[in-house]
Structure 1
């Protein structure tokens, strides 16, 4: 039976302690660089919107952290994301490797600027 999470806290709490710490840091990184973003759950994972537009999402898995910055957010960082397994608009950061928080910062900042530019 699939669990329906109502809050990001509830979602993060469902993981083992070591993964919780990584998810909390990803969350903190997003909110530090998109302070006006709203936080919620979409597609069963933490989701962030800026001015009503999708900003980024992340999710915890058994062997990786999934990060979703939409297709444009990933295209912009194609070279830096090359070492990681990817899908259209998604990347997998293995739990056995250092999570590239600085890259997450760049991706979030890019998406914020992209959304704000489109709204002008």
Structure 2
């Protein structure tokens, strides 16, 4: 299956204006939390990487933003994420409420720390 978006910029540009602004802020928050990260499109959604390995994915949907996967190693963080859990590995942030960008940054930082421990 061919990717519809070749870059994260193209993915963001293809979204409605209000969603574009949210995605740009999520992207900024993630890169602020993981300054050495790269990015690519994987599974046709933005993917933040370290050394070419995925760290965190984020995607826009009609009524929410999803962030994948859910970090495992920080109980305090996991308690804060509980209200956003959707299934085992997805965080779902409704577009009708203010997004917790700082929390999303913390998710990215925790996932990056977990990734670094694995490699």
TM-score range, shorter chain: 0.7 to 0.9
Query: Is the Cα–Cα contact under 8 Å of residues 74 and 90 in structure 1 kept in the other structure?
Result: no
User: Hey, what's the Cα distance between the residues in 1 that align with 2:106 and 2:63?
Assistant: 23
Q: Give the TM-score normalised by structure 1.
A: 0.86
Task: Tell me which residue corresponds to 2:28.
Answer: 28
* Deviation per residue, 1:63-92 (Å, 9 max, x gap): 000111x24x15743321222251221111
Matched residue pairs, number?
116
- Give structure 1 regions of 4+ aligned residues with deviation exceeding 6 angstroms: none
Long gaps (5+) in structure 2: none
Q: Give the TM-score normalised by structure 2.
A: 0.87
Long gaps (5+) in structure 1: none
RMSD: 1.9
